[in-house]
Chains A and B, each alone.
Chain A
Amino acid sequence: MSVIEGSILDFRRLDLLAREDSIIHRLDPRTKVLVTLAFILVVVSFDRYAVNALLPFAIFPVALMAVANLPTRFIAGKVLTVSFFAVAIGILNPLLDRQILIQIDGIGISGGWLSFISILLRSALTVTAALILTATTGFGAICQALERLGMPTIFARQLTFMYRYLFVLAEESQRMSNARELRSCRGTGMGIRPYASMVGHLLLRTWERAERVHRAMLCRGYKGNMVTQKSAGMRLWDLSFLLGWITLFVLLRMYDVPRLLGHLTMMPHL
């Protein structure tokens, strides 16, 4: 299976998961968007050598995945794929920053390694949170939530349409790429040049399709603003979910829990 087909299937799997039912799924999309944003902001706000202090934050994705009954292997697999980007970003740190910062059992760990691990942790945490948000909410609902939270309508619209036609575009490029492959007989198929023309064709087709879609909208009374039905408002459960998690994030940000625990266990020896 090709890369494009694979990633389409992943998207579809996320969409399917979002149609399941759990107390997390039933939360107002805005609640989940806000909590996820808060989580990401707090995780990113730590200083570059933070490793221990980040660990307790794993409770958020773990708890949500358990309650929402998400497939651990699928999500972990996705996170792993994205981790390669994080590796690419951080891989030079251990070489550039060789100053020893901490000692564990006599082995010195340099600042570079610490910041590298920190980058990996943060990427894993934030990507997992974003995936959980998508897998429990669905992309369309997220767009709507963002709009109701104040994102300019035009961006929300763009995102919704992008998501709808991503599949169509991906399938189209896949067919085109297959057609090229079938006639290039394992050779290079005239090298890079056909791709230029393929991209051009895709752009023109997309353009034409956009025009047809716009016409379809006009046909059904579109006058420039999308009329959507508002979902039920936030309930008490939403508010407690929101405030509960944000309080926890702030506490975890202010107090280094692993260190506190360490102190507690060391107390008797003092």
Chain B
Amino acid sequence: MSHHIVAADALCFSYPDGTAALKEVTFCIHHGESVAVIGANGAGKSTLLQHLNGFLTPTSGTVRIGDATVTRDNLCDVRKTVGMVFQNPDDQLFMPTVYEDVAFGPRNLGMSVADVERKVRDALAAVDAGHLAAKPPYRLSGGEKKRVAIATVLAMDPAILVMDEPTAGLDPFARREVIGLLKAFSHTKIITSHDLDMVAEVCGRVIVLHAGQLRADGPTGQLFADRSLLAACHLEPPLSMQHCALCGRAATPLSAAA
């Protein structure tokens, strides 16, 4: 199914102040794949994500979603196909109540009242947040906010889910819930994160960025075992693959950890 392809071809981007944030990045993500984009702070992860739904336009090179290159003319379609979950849910939940917020997307798509209602109910149920519908966003806990933010995107029926740091700032239980959700979704997933244990569980493929360049692109287990690559990109293997400092337990290979 070529329809859900996400591809970057020699993607370069420089900010107006001249900082080159992405240099010749090329990759192709196929339908149903779950891919993590990892890298140190400032490696270009967020800049890359911004290109996937047209908030930034490449300085040179192209981004392709499905069969179409992202241009100003097809932004609407692109944004319907690519659902983006922001790192800070406060930026994403801007309506007075959770219900209104989840309904925002479907209403903009021009759905009928009954359809909107069904979409909202389904999306909230998918993240186990049906009971939060009437609450204003500021009364939610961090984990609840994150789940609702995911619901706002699901309600749009995107083919591709893009998530910026989905587990950042969550307590272990809420993190576990979000991981459960991510694993349950059959969408094509593109996730940036510093939580490499989560990446090891959720993503089968990893793209490593360093200083704006694509340094590696391959199966998660293989890349996480390559310590010299990780060290060169200012990263560390996930904790589950590290030797335990407390009990002396040897590192587990990824297949056992996942």
Contacts and interface: CB of A to CB of B under 8 A. Distances in A.
Contacts of A209: 90-91
A268 interface: no
Contact of B83 (A164, A168, A219, A229): A219
Contacts of B96: 138-140, 160, 163-164
Majority SS at the chain A contact face = helix
Contact of A221 (B109, B113, B136): B109
A98 interface: no
Contacts of B110: 227
Contacts of B94: 161, 164-165, 213, 216-217
Interface in A205-239: 209, 212-213, 215-223, 227-229
Contacts of A213: 91-92, 94
A221 B76 contact: yes
Contacts of B153: 219-220
Interface string B70-110: 00000110011001101010111011110010011101111
Which residue, of A138, A222, A227, has the highest number of chain B Cβ atoms within 10 A? A227
A220 B105 contact: yes
Interface string B128-160: 000000101111000000000000110010000
Given A220-B79, A221-B108, 7 more contacts: A164-B94, A164-B137, A168-B90, A168-B138, A221-B80, A221-B105, A228-B107
Contacts of A215: 55, 86, 91
Interface of B: 53, 55, 75-76, 79-80, 83-84, 86, 88, 90-92, 94-97, 100, 103-105, 107-110, 113, 116, 134, 136-139, 152-153, 156
Contacts of A138: 96
B79 A221 contact: yes
A148 interface: no
A167 interface: yes
Which residue, of A160, A216, A228, A229, has the highest number of chain B Cβ atoms within 10 A? A216
Nearest to A143: B96
Which residue, of A160, A209, A218, A219, has the highest number of chain B Cβ atoms within 10 A? A219
A207 B241 CA distance: 41
Nearest to A171: B138
Contact of B91 (A212, A218, A227, A228): A212
Contact of B88 (A19, A139, A212, A217): A212
Given A19-B134, A219-B53, A221-B79, A227 B108 contact: yes
B229 to A, nearest CB: 32
A218 B84 CA distance: 11
Interface in A116-130: none
Contacts of B79: 218-221
Contact of A212 (B83, B86, B104): B86
B159 to A, nearest CB: 14
Nearest to B101: A220
B108 A222 contact: yes
B107 A227 contact: yes
Nearest to B88: A212
Contacts of A223: 76, 108
Nearest to B94: A213
Contacts of B95: 160, 164
A201 interface: no
Contacts of A12: 138-139
A15 interface: yes
